[in-house]
Chain A
Amino acid sequence: MILSVSDTAIEVRGLRKSYGDFEAVRGIDFEVRRGEVFGLLGPNGAGKTTTVEILEGYRARSAGDVSVLGFDPGQRPREFRARVGIVLQSTGIYRHIRVREALSHFGSMYPHPRDVDEVIALTGLAGKEDAMARTLSGGQRRRLDLALALVGDPELVFLDEPTTGFDPAARRTAWDTIRSLRDLGKTVLLTTHYLDEAQAIADRVAIIQDGRIAIEGAPGDLGSNAGAPRYRVVYRNGTGRDVEQETDDPTTLLHELTGAALARGERLEGLTVTRPTLEDVYLELTAERER
C-alpha cells in the first residue's frame, strides 16, 4: 500500500522469470507513471508477454520486486483485480453471449462499473449490442475484449497487442480510444508489434530484447540515445538516383546541398528531411544484436 498515493503506477526492480533452464526475463527495471501510456516493444519471444503477465498476476516471478498500484500482483488480492483492466493477447468469450449482456455481466463483478452504453460507444461497438459473440468479426471481438477490460472502470489498463488484426481505420479508432483513456487519467501499459502504434500513442517506450531492456525513453528521444543520427535527408540527384544522407546538423547539410544544386542548375527532386522513427531505432538495435 506504500505506493498507492504516489505518482508511480508500476514499479519493477530486478524482475526475473525462468521456465526450467530457460530464463525468459533476465533482470528488468522500469517504472510507469500514473496517467501515462507506456509501450513495451520487442521481437517475439523477447519476454514482453511474460513480463506483462507477471504484472497482471497471472504468473509468479522467479526474483525481483514488483509493485502495481501499490499491490504485489503475485498475491492477486481482489482489490487489485478490481482496479486493473486486462486485454490479453488471446482470450475467448462465451460463444452464445450477446455484447451488451457480456458487458453488463462482467461489469457486475466490479465495485464501480462504467455505464454499458458508454463503453459500447467508446469502443465502437454501437449497432452490435445484441449480436452474439460468435458472430462478431475478428476486429469486433478485439473491440469487445477492450470493452470488457474497460467496463470495470479500471485505473490501470494492460493492453497486450490490442490492435492485431485491425484494418488501418479501426486501428486509428482504437488509438483514439486509448488516447481518451489517458485523457481520463488512466494509466496504460501497452505491448505491441507495431512500432508506428507505439510512436503514435505511447508517452514512453521500452524495447525488450532477450529478456532485458535494451533502451527506454520517449519515442521521439530514442533516436539520439541509440547513437543513431537524428535526421535523414533523401533526394534525387542529377542522374535520377535516390541519395540518402544522415546528419546531426540538417541546416548545414541542406545549405550545402541546395547551394550545390542551384549552382548546377538542378532541382533536388523528392527532397525530404525526416527524423528517425522508432522503427529505425528498433531495427538498428536488433541488427546490432545479430552482428
Chain B
Amino acid sequence: MTDVAALAWRQYRLERRLFWRNPSAAFFNFLLPLLFLAFFGAAFHSDHKELRIIVPGIAAMSVMSTTFTALAYNMTFLREQGVLKRIRGTPMPAISYLLGVAGNAVTNTALQITIITVAGRIFFHTGWPREWAELVVFVILGVVCFASLGVAFSHVIPNFDSAPAYVNAVFFPVVAISGVFFDTAHSPGFMKGIAQALPLYHLISGLSAAMVKGTSLSANATALGVIAAWAFLGIGFAVRGFSWDQRRA
C-alpha cells in the first residue's frame, strides 16, 4: 500500500513538472478566470450585488475547467498518443496513476480558487470567504465530481481532433445555464429546471454560500447531495469505461 502511495506521489510530481514545462498552456489556464473576473469586474464594479454573484460563479467555473475540461482533453490526448497504453504495460497500479493525475488537476483548482479569492478581495472588495470549512468541502466535492466526469467524458470523445468540439458542447451550455454570469433567479423556469439537475448550478450555490452569503453547510444539503450524486455517476463511468487504448477507427 505504501508502494501504491509512493508511485502516486511520483506520478503527481511528474505531472506538476510537465504542467509547468508547457508555459503557454499553464499561463492561459490561470489567465482565463482572471480575464473573466477583470471583464465582469470592470462592467459591474459599482454594482456590489452583481460582483457577489460573479466571484463564486467564476470560482465554480474554474473548478469545472481545471478538472472536467482539462482531464477530458488530457485523457483523450494521452490515449491517442499511446501514453496510456505504455503505462498500462508497466507494473504501476492503475489507482496510483489516476491519483497522480487527479492530484495534478486538484492542485490547479486550488491555485485558481486562491487567485480568484485574492483578486476578488483586492480589486473588488468582495471580502474574504465567510465559511472557510464550507468552501473547502464544496471545492473538494466539486473537484471529485468534475474530475471523474471529465475522465468519463473522455471515453465518449473519439479522437483528440474532435475533443474541443465535444468539450465545448458541454462546457459552454452548462456554464451559461447554471448562472456563472447572472443570477438564475431571473432565468425562465425550464432553464432553471435543467440547471438544477446539473452539478455546476449547485456548486455555484455552495461556493456562493461559503464565499459571500455565509449560510451554513446544513442549509446547502441539497446542493451537496446533487453534486455527490453526479460524482457517484462520474466515478462509476470513469472506472467502468476506462480505455487505455485508442479504439480502432
Q: Decide if B83 touches A88 in the complex (CB within 8 Å).
A: no
B82 touches A92 (CB 8 A): yes
Is A251 on the interface with B (CB-CB < 8 A)? Answer: no
Please report whether the interface of chain B is mostly helix, strand, loop or mixed according to DSSP. Answer: helix
Shortest Cβ distance from A49 into chain B, in angstroms? 12
The listed residue (B10, B78, B81, B91) touching A105 by CB distance below 8 A is: B10
Which stretch (B14-22, B136-144, B182-190, B223-231) binds chain A? B14-22
Of A93-101, A217-225, A266-274, the stretch lying at the interface with chain B is A93-101
- Count of inter-chain pairs, beta carbons less than 8 A: 60
B85 closest partner in A (C-beta) = A91
Q: What is the minimal beta-carbon distance from B160 to any residue of chain A, in angstroms?
A: 11
Contact A94 B91 (CB under 8 A): no
Are B91 and A148 in contact, with the CB atoms below 8 A? no
Is residue A81 contacting chain B, with contact meaning CB distance below 8 A? yes
- Which of A106-114, A185-193, A200-208 forms contacts with chain B? A106-114
Q: Would you give the shortest CB distance from B123 to chain A, in whole angstroms?
A: 33
Given contacts A58-B245, A82-B91, A152-B91, contact A91 B18 (CB under 8 A): no
User: With a CB–CB cut-off of 8 A, which chain A residues contact B239?
Assistant: none
Q: Report A57-91 residues with CB < 8 Å from chain B CB.
A: 57-58, 78-79, 81-82, 84, 86, 88, 90-91
Shortest Cβ gap from B3 to chain A (Å)? 9
Are A94 and B89 in contact (CB-based, < 8 A)? no
Q: Does B49 reach chain A (CB closer than 8 Å)? A: no
A96 touches B22 (CB 8 A): yes
Counting contact residues on chain A (CB < 8 A from B), the size range is 20 to 34
- B89 contacts across to A, CB distance below 8 A: 56-58, 81, 84, 86, 88
B10, B21, B85: the one contacting A96 at CB < 8 Å is B21
- Quick check: A91 and B22 within 8 Å, CB to CB? no
Q: Other than A81-B90, A93-B83, A108-B7, give 16 A-B pairs with Cβ distance below 8 A.
A: A56-B89, A58-B89, A58-B245, A78-B93, A79-B91, A81-B89, A86-B86, A86-B89, A88-B82, A88-B86, A91-B85, A94-B14, A94-B83, A97-B18, A105-B10, A148-B86
Q: Which residues of chain B have a CB within 8 Å of any CB of chain A?
A: 7, 10, 14, 17-18, 21-22, 78, 81-83, 85-86, 88-93, 245
